[in-house]
């Protein structure tokens, strides 16, 4: 998706200024440049986090692409990418001429399932501790597996959806 698609959100709003910003979003994005997390992912996480905490509810509007760009000085395609990712996850939907809106809440995991997951996690932690891993060792292991897990999952879904091969050497 190319730059300029922000036009589909606010058709005809060519002027770079508006006295007010029109309907505003409940949330504002922030950027942590030193976190090492890619920018678009930071935006995705912030939306999910806001959903989790209740700042965003279904029907709320997300900030317009050009407003995010103007306040954070980031590439418009990055914002678009984040919004696409959220759309793929089924969390948001874009309405041409109106904006981007929250579609659904994060899938709530049922309480019994959550309790079950917690119990097996505690068991695993005990095993790791016995094996000799300390706290940061455990955290590193978990982080690396988490990353690989989602990378594989998003990689396969991307290939499934577009059918193209990535990258090269």
Partner 1 sequence: MNVIETNGLGKSYGATKALHDCSLAIPEGHVAALVGPNGAGKSTLLNLAVGLATPTSGELSVLGGYRAGSQAALDGIAFVAQDTPLYKNLSAADMLHLTRNLNRQFDESYAEARLAELGIPQKRKAGKLSGGQQAQLALTLALARHPRLLVLDEPVAMLDPIARHDFMATVLTAAADDGVSVLLSSHVLAELERVADYLIMMSFGRIQLAGEVDDLLAAHRVLTGPTSEASSYDEHPVVHSRRGDAQAHLLVRVSADDQIPVGWEAHPVGLEELALAYLREPGAAALPGPVRSWDAGPSEVTR
Partner 2 sequence: MTTLNTMSRPTPVQQGADLQPLPWRRMAWVTWRQHRTALIGAVAFIGALALCLVIVGLQLHHAYSAATACHPTGSAACNTVVANFNGIGNFLSSGAFFLVVPPLIGAFVGAPVLAREFEAGTFRYAWTQGFGRWRWTLAKLVGLGAVVAVASGALSLLASWYYQPYFASGNQSLSLTTFNQLNPGLFEQRGVAFAAWTLAAFAIGALAGVLIRRVVPAIVTTLALCGALAFATGGWLRMHYLTPLVTQGLNAPGSARIVSQWGSRGGRVVFTGPPSYPIYQQYCPAQAGLGKGDGSGAGNPLQCLAQHGFTFWTSYQPASRFWAFQWIEGGWLFALSVLLIAATVLSVRRRAT
Q: Which of residues 34-53 bind partner 1 (CB under 8 A)?
A: 36, 38-39
- Judged by beta carbon, residue 37 or residue 104, the one nearer partner 1 is 37
| Of the candidates 106, 92, 108, the residue with the CA atom closest to the CA atom of residue 60 | 92
Q: Closest separation between CB of residue 168 and partner 1, Å?
A: 5
Q: Under 8 Å CB-to-CB from 79, ≥6 apart: which residues?
A: 40, 43, 65, 68, 69
In 11-134, which residue ranges form alpha helices assigned H by DSSP?
39-53, 65-72, 76-88, 111-131
- Per CB under 8 A, does 162 bind partner 2? no
Residue 19 interacts with which of partner 1, partner 2, none, CB < 5 to 8 Å by class = none
CA distance 82 to 48: 11
Residue 125 interacts with which of partner 2, partner 1, none, CB < 5 to 8 Å by class = none
Strands 92-95 and 61-62: unpaired
Q: Closest separation between CB of residue 168 and partner 2, Å?
A: 5
Q: Closest separation between CB of residue 45 and partner 1, Å?
A: 16
Instruction: Please report, as ranges, the residues that interact with partner 2 according to CB under 8 A.
Output: 165, 167-169
């Amino acid at each position: 998706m190319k730059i300029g698609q922000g036009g589909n959100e606010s058709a005809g709003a060519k002027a770079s200024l508006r006295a007010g910003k029109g309907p505003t979003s409940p949330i504002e994005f922030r950027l942590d440049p030193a976190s090492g997390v890619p920018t678009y992912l930071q935006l995705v996480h912030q939306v999910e986090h806001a959903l989790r905490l209740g700042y965003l509810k279904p029907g709320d509007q997300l900030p317009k692409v050009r407003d995010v760009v103007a306040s954070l000085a980031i590439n418009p395609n990055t914002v678009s990418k984040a919004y696409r990712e959220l759309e793929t996850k089924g969390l948001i939907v874009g309405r041409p001429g109106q904006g981007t809106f929250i579609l659904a809440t994060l899938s709530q995991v049922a309480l019994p399932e959550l309790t079950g997951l917690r119990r097996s996690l505690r068991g695993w932690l005990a095993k790791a501790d016995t094996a000799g891993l300390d706290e940061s060792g455990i955290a590193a292991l978990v982080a690396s597996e988490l990353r690989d897990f989602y990378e594989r999952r998003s990689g396969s879904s991307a290939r499934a959806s577009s059918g193209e091969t990535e990258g090269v050497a």
